Amino acid sequence: MLLEITTTHQPTSDLGYLLHKHPDKFQSFDLSHGQVHVFYPELTEEKVKFCLLLDIDPIELVKGGRNLSGKGFALGHYVNDRIYVASSFMSVGISKTLSSALNGRCKDRPELLGVKMPFEVKISVLPAPIGGAILIQKLFEPLGYKVQLERHILDAKFESWGESKYYTLYLKNELTLQELLTHLYVLIPVLDNDKHYYVGKNEIDKLVARGGDWLQEHPERKQIAERYLFNLKSLSRQALERLIEKDGNETAEAGIVETHEEMVKRKTLHQKRLYKVVEKLLETNAESVLDLGCGEGKLLRLLLKQKQFKKITGMDVSFSELKKAKDKLYYDDMAPKQKERIQLFQGSLLYSDTRLLGYDAAAIVEVIEHLDENRLKSFERVIFEIARPKSVVITTPNGEYNALFPNLKEGAMRHSDHRFEWTRKEFQDWATAIAQKNNYTVSFEPIGEEDEQYGAPSQMGVFSYAS
Amino acid sequence: MQVKIPELSLVLLIGTSGAGKSTFAKKHFKSTEIVSSDICRGIVSDDENSLNANKDAFELLDFIIRKRLKNGLLTVVDATNVQKSARRNLIALAREFHCLPVAIVLNTPPKIAKERNKLRSDRAEMGNHVIRQQHSQLKDAFRSLKREGFRRIYRFDSVEEIEAVTGIEREKLYNNKKEEHGPFDIIGDIHGCFDELLELLEKMDYVVERIATDNTNFGFKVSHPENRQVIFLGDLVDRGPNSPDVLRLAMSMLNDGVAICVPGNHDLKLQKKLSGKNVSLQHGLAETMEQLEKETDEFKEIVREFLYSLISHYVLDDGKLVVAHAGIREEMQGRGSGVVRSFCLYGETTGEIDEFGLPVRYDWASEYRGYAKVVYGHTPVPEAEWFNRTIDIDTGCVFGGKLTALRYPEEILVSVPAHKVYCEPAKPLIKEGMETSLSNQQVYDDLLNIEDVIGKRIVQTRLRNNITIKEENSIAALEVMSRFAINPKWLIYLPPTMSPCETSELPDYLEHPKEAIDYYRNKGIAQIVCEEKHMGSRAVVIVCKDEETVAEKFGIVNEGIGVCYTRTGRNFFNDANLEQRFLETVRDELTKGNFWEKFETSWVCLDTELMPWSAKAQSLLKDQYASVGAAASNALPAVVRALEQTQARGIGGVEAYVEKFANKQASIGQYIKAYQQYCWEVKDLSDFRLAPFHILATEGAVHSDKTHQWHIENIGAICEASSQLFYATPYKIVDCADDASVEAVIQWWLELTEKGGEGMVIKPMDFVAYGKRGLLQPAIKCRGKEYLRIIYGPEYDTPEHLKRLKKRGLLRKRSLALREFALGIEGLERFVGKQPLRRTHESVFGVLALESEAVDPRL
């Protein structure tokens, strides 16, 4: 909530001119949910300290009940850290009060604009996501900053609760004031997972305008764009494309952080998995297919491309995922012939459902691991006893392979909602038993590159009804 | 003249155009009962006479008729109906819905019909040949109507005859005995087991006297001191030792009005044999015929007439009870057709034959969703048990089982064992799937049907009538239920949300007990119970004496001796072993307190608060509460320092902000202290505290009929016996009219909350309390000043904030609390009443769905 900028540049009065703020005044400006105050706690011949203080109104902030904390805990947005941290509000505060300096304007002393000054910055306090310290360094160090971090613990009374996600950040660098403010304007929100406003398209413009010059060279530019735009994939792609356009020379995506690599790997695996599932479904000669737990419809889109499938049905328990799937399929605008082939509805794999009757095949991709093991009995009956499609393709992670994920602690799972990640034997035992009980035969295949000891990252069982 | 038609029939008016059908219909039927082809043509084409519209018009006609017949409504078809094919379709429709087709022919002379049409502008163009053709078709119809399957045919050959019809009398169907309310004793298949029948009647306090035979009496006079009535479910005869006496007794009782009887397949076969039809003497008929040999021909004729007169099934007690020999589907109840009759007699078979040479029966009851309870027999079962509101009470007496009666409305089963095996059963009388210890209902309930939960739903509750669940809320609940909830067989209850008291008028308080007490006092409640509110996590605890009880009562195997779940139906413990150890402790403590004996139960469902808060809410505390504390307590000192330095430089206008941010700093300190109070480290089981406040249900009882004093005192007794897990909730009983008593409890609240307590829950003395305008809030919470910091924010009590926060509305929250309360109790009642799981699930699902309604979560 507090940004302190100190410089020993002399004369110290220059800073006031550049900031366009009188050193002997305490000034306040209105924001949508409160105020921002600017003032100078220190001003001597040798040193000047400028402060920007956010004074957010906690009651106004939560009016209308917009959820700031994400899903899960509704009360979270009433008791939240927004008013005490440097968040995107800080960027709003900067542009609101220091727009001249941010945009490189200085009416009275234009010659100061290009002057590099020794700056020391302190931000109290800065929230950062997991791996925050490394991320903060990766963001600021390439820009020439000396970074010092002080991490805060959660609660002194309960030391076992460990560290918090908050830091006090100290920065040192010699650069122009405009450079400094631009960096802060862009990078503070990058560290903030909880944005206070909706990410709109014009944010890309803001990002490119602010970050234009230095951002193109920043090794973390992809991550900055992604995080800045709140991981809104389509928006960030546009932003990246525009950045690369400016760059004129697309380089290999070097220097991308590890997590990104992992993400790419994960996505590739998922793509492989889906292709394999489509391949299997084609082999069964199925004409009508169920995608159970279709999520946002990645598999559905692949299925639609295959003429063989005349009736494609996607079901998911999450209504919001189905909505996403409809958007991504452009369902509402689909041509009638196309639309005839596909339908989507909400349903649950734990309730018997006559809508699932009469299909040739069902794909259940990365779904069962999201069910509690003691509920699997219901799942088995819904699929194998009641819906009873001629073929069933089930995929699930191979837990053995987790040993090869460096960041995964022993016994941990790949996704927080996974209830189990079976070994190959566990999966095969389970699948063989239900196949036998329900008059199916089953065969197994690995998905993804196979390790000699641990097998492939994912596994698949293909069931056929033995008529 | 009076025309008589069955109350549920499909009436076809038959006549040429201009014959006066519409006029006749309007005169004798309700406008909503008439479905007219002209009107349908008009609806689909704006032209009642457009022949091009015929196809669409008749599809619409068909659709409307279907909907009406499905809903059991008499329907009159106002169309010419002169063509045989048109009538054939309608008769098929009537059959499909088991309604009786009736023909009313208006044979108006063609000359008059033509004249009438000429007078009508819209029909003036109609050629004479049209009516001529229709009339000749009508004449053909005269010959064939009878064969077409009409139950009644009325024909009027002149305008005078038509006008002479003074009214249409609707005859009640024979199977409609809705006005008979019992009490009944329904007796399953007797098969000539006369001695057992007498014993059973005596066991139920019937007095059977032997008297002289006359025309209506066959040697027996039966009466019951409470005027109860017997219902025989058919199959009185065959296989057993004394069919004639069973018939004598049954006929005497029927003639005397103390019994009702529906026919069984064996009774029908006997009737056929006595009518001289060629029937094979298998399956026990030979024995019956032998026994009847000694009887007079006259008696045999009486028996034949009696059996012939029996009605396939009866709808009784305002439609709440249906009896039929082999059961009956919902859509057949109260209807009459050959299909209905044969279903009632033989049940539904798949056409296959099983390994014992018996027809494979289709289990209609597994799909039964009807409102009426269906009591039937026909298929021998080892034990009568309720299944989807149906019960088969044929317990195979003649095969050496027992003769069973169901007492209605008490729903108590009474039986007497067979004296011997009179007949070897083709199939051994054992339970299907003996390997499982679960009942049929429990096995069936392993899987719920999605149709029972999705879409807009209306749930009937005993506390508050119908509760509507909106579709969008079912959608949300389905996801939560599927992804996170525990086995639905455990989920018999979810607690309702609780409203806070009205906002306090006192300047420093957002909530104060005065408003909560006033709420009940103003609604006319004399006594309230004020309980300390614990700051832990709400937990519903179900615990059984042993795993056998779990299987027997909950139909769950291999999931331990109970469950502990949150207010959204999730497992409270992430660690299943820890949960079972916890539940074992709960059970052992209850055993120590003689709970099982005292409550005559082997299981209990408790509504509790489980502490510490930090046990369940660890991630919430860390990610939310402690985080906010850490952020603020590290940011604010730097802010205050910077402001003070600025002030020290002599800059104007800073003072107010120095104070403002210093206050914020102080508030944060208090806020951290507030949440810390509810946290302690949990290393093992001994660090948990369980504070029950309701004993919700035990075997056969939902304890919502007791007072809160009863609940808290009985829980107190458990706590006394308990070594450390259980925690007794401090409480005070307040007499609303006694100001001193009210003042004392307010003082108590102040003390509790000053020490950091969360606050108090105020309840009316009765668990379920009513005011003038209906159900009252089951409880109202009043939270402490400090506690509210973690709800409304660290600095909520600064005057400028408090002023704004006081503008809060409670209506939605309160309405929600009432609806959820009614649904919660309903779920328990249905479970305790041993209703199918889907009925209990419906209520619990409803609570979860309502919880997805948008309400200010700070309330």
As given in the structure block, the two tokens for residue B220 are 């027996």
pLDDT reading at B318 higher than 90? yes
DSSP E strands: which ranges in B510-630? Answer: 527-533, 537-544, 562-565, 603-611
Closest residue in B to A41 (Cα) is B646
Does B44 score more than 60 pLDDT? yes
CA distance A361 to A463: 9
Q: Give the whole-angstrom CA distance, residue B854 versus residue B859.
A: 12
pLDDT value at residue A236 = 47
Could you tell me the pLDDT band of residue B431, with boundaries at 50, 70 and 90? very low
Contact A377 B646 (CB under 8 A): no
B780 vs B120: CA distance, rounded Å: 71
% residues pLDDT > 70 (chain B)? 97
End-to-end CA distance of chain A: 69
Task: Kindly state the percentage of chain B with pLDDT values over 90.
Answer: 64
Nearest CA in chain B to A418: B483
Q: Where are the alpha helices (DSSP H) in B550-603?
A: 576-592, 595-599
Q: Are strands B34-36 and B229-232 parallel, antiparallel or unpaired?
A: unpaired
All residues of chain B having their beta carbon less than 8 Å from the beta carbon of residue A127 are 631
pLDDT surpassing 80 at residue B502: yes
Between residues A232 and A83, which one has the greater pLDDT? A83
Cβ neighbours around B742 below 10 Å, total? 20
Q: Average of pLDDT values for B516-542?
A: 94
CA distances from B500 to A58, A278, B753 (A): 22, 55, 15
Q: What angle do CA A373, A374, A379 make, to 5 degrees?
A: 80
For the cut 60, the answer to whether the pLDDT of residue B433 exceeds it is: no
CA distance B219 to B208: 10
Following DSSP, what letter does each residue of B697-741 receive, concatenated? Answer: EETTEEGGGSBHHHHHHHHHHHHHH-SSSB-PPPEEEEETT-HHH
pLDDT at position A247 over 70: no
First to last CA, chain B: 70
Element of type H or E holding A327: helix A319-328
Within 13 Å, how many C-alpha atoms sit on residue A61's CB side? 26
Q: What confidence tens digit (pLDDT) does each residue in A360-408 have? A: 999 999 999 999 988 999 999 999 999 999 999 999 999 999 888 877 7
Q: Which of A47, A81, A130, A169 to mutate to test the interface with B (most CBs of B within 10 A)?
A: A81
Which of B838, B847, B710 has the alpha carbon at shortest distance from B389? B838
d(CA B426, CA B396): 12
The pLDDT of residue B430 is above 50: yes
Helix, strand and coil content of chain B, in percent to the nearest 5, comes to 45, 20, 35
Tell me what pLDDT residue B709 has: 96
Residue A401 in tokens: 């392979």
Find out whether B84 and B145 touch, Cβ atoms under 8 Å.
no
In Å, how far from its chain's centre is CA B589? 35
Q: With contact defined as beta carbons under 8 Å apart, do B77 and B61 qualify?
A: yes
Q: Which residues pair with A171 in a beta bridge?
A: A121, A147
* pLDDT at position A72: 39
Which residue, A435, A454, A438, is CA-closest to A446? A454
User: How far is the alpha carbon of A226 from chain B, nearest alpha carbon, in Å?
Assistant: 23
- Report the gap between the CA of A161 and the closest CA in chain B (Å): 7
- The whole-angstrom separation of Cα A41 and Cα B654 is 11
Between the alpha carbon of residue B676 and those of residues A146, B509, B542, B614, B670, the distances in Å are 37, 22, 30, 9, 10
Q: b or e along A161-192 (b: 16 or more beta carbons within 10 Å of the residue's beta carbon)?
A: beebbbbbbbbebebbbbbbbbbbbbbbbbbb
**B478, B649, B858: residue with CB nearest A75:** B858
The ipTM assigned to this model is 0.79
In terms of CATH architecture, what is A2-197?
A: 2-Layer Sandwich (3.30)
Give the pLDDT score at A258: 38
Integer-rounded Cα radius of gyration of chain A = 28
Q: Per-residue pLDDT for A71 more than 60?
A: no
Min Cα distance B537 → chain A (Å) is 14
pLDDT the model gives residue B472: 86
Say how many C-beta atoms besides its own lie within 10 A of residue A284's C-beta. 18
Cβ pair A40:B646 closer than 8 A: yes
Summarised one tens digit per residue, pLDDT across range A157-190 is 888 888 888 999 999 999 999 999 999 988 888 8
Cβ pair B636:A53 closer than 8 A:
no
**Residues from chain A contacting residue B625 (CB–CB below 8 Å):** 79
Residue A44: pLDDT above 60? yes
Q: Which residues have a Cβ under 8 Å from the Cβ of A198 and sit 6 or more positions away?
A: none
Residue B385: the pLDDT is 84
B747 vs B431, which has greater pLDDT? B747
* B contacts of A378 (beta carbons < 8 Å): 446-447
CA distance B482 to chain A (A): 6
- Do residue A386 and residue B454 have CB atoms under 8 angstroms apart? no
Closest CA to A271 of A294, A313, A302: A302
Cβ-based neighbour number of residue B741 at 10 Å: 16
pLDDT at site A343: 94
Query: Which residue of chain B is at minimal alpha-carbon distance from A127?
Result: B631
- Please give the structure tokens belonging to residue A7: 């410089």
For residues B775 and B842, the answer to whether their CB atoms sit within 8 Å is: no
Alpha helices in B625-707 (DSSP H): 626-648, 655-676
Q: Is the pLDDT of residue A246 over 90?
A: no
Distant-in-sequence, close-in-space partners of B543: CB < 8 Å, separation ≥ 6: B561, B562, B583, B586, B587, B590, B603, B604, B606
Full DSSP string of B106-122: E---HHHHHHHHHHSGG
Q: Which residues of A touch B573 (CB under 8 A)?
A: none
What is the distance between the alpha carbons of residues B843 and B684, in angstroms, rounded to a whole number?
A: 35
Chain position carrying tokens 């502008």: B121
Q: How buried is residue B427: exposed, middle or buried, by Cβ count under 10 Å (0-12/13-18/19+)? A: middle
B486 contacts in chain A (CB < 8 Å): 372
- As given in the structure block, the two tokens for residue A226 are 């992604």
pLDDT surpasses 70 at B594: yes
Which site among B366, B646, B855 would you substitute to test the A interface, given the most A Cβ atoms closer than 10 Å to its Cβ?
B646
What does DSSP say about strands B390-392 and B373-376: parallel, antiparallel, or unpaired?
Answer: parallel
Q: What is the C-alpha to C-alpha distance for residues A397 and A374, in angstroms, rounded to an integer?
A: 18
User: Which pLDDT band holds residue A200 (cuts at 50, 70, 90)?
Assistant: low
C-alpha angle with apex B558: A433 to B726, nearest 5 degrees?
155
**Chain B interface includes A318 (CB < 8 A):** yes
Q: Residue B450 forms beta bridges with which residues?
A: none
Q: Across residues B466-487, what is the average pLDDT?
A: 89
pLDDT tens digits for range A21-31: 999 999 999 98
* Residue among B311, B315, B312 nearest B347 (CA): B312
**Does the structure show a pLDDT above 80 at B432?**
no
pLDDT higher at A336 or B392: B392
Domain borders along chain A are 2-197, 212-256, 261-465
Q: Give the C-alpha separation, B432 to B847, whole Å.
A: 36
Is the omega angle on the peptide bond into residue B857 within 30 degrees of 0, that is, cis? no
Confidence at residue A70, expressed as pLDDT on a 0 to 100 scale: 37
Mean of the per-residue pLDDT values of chain B: 90
Output the pLDDT for position B388: 85
Q: How far apart are CA B555 and CA B547, in angstroms?
A: 10
Q: Kindly give, in sequence order, each residue whose CB lies less than 8 Å from that of residue B183, ignoring residues fewer than 6 positions away.
A: B226, B228, B229, B407, B408, B409, B410
Distance, in Å, from the CA atom of B789 to the CA atom of B629, rounded to the nearest integer, reads: 12
Select from A73, A84, A317, A355 the residue whose CB has the most chain B CBs within 10 Å, as the one to mutate to test that interface: A84
Residue type present at position A285: N
Q: Does domain A261-465 have CATH number 3.40.50.150?
A: yes
Both tokens assigned to B782: 């009043």
Rounded distance between C-alpha atoms, residue A139 and residue A183, angstroms = 9
Q: What beta strand segments (E) does B80-228 contain?
A: 100-106, 152-156, 167-171, 176-177, 184-187, 207-210, 220-223
Q: Which residue has the higher pLDDT, B176 or A256?
A: B176
What distance in Å separates the CA atoms of residue A22 and residue B20, rounded to the nearest whole number? 99
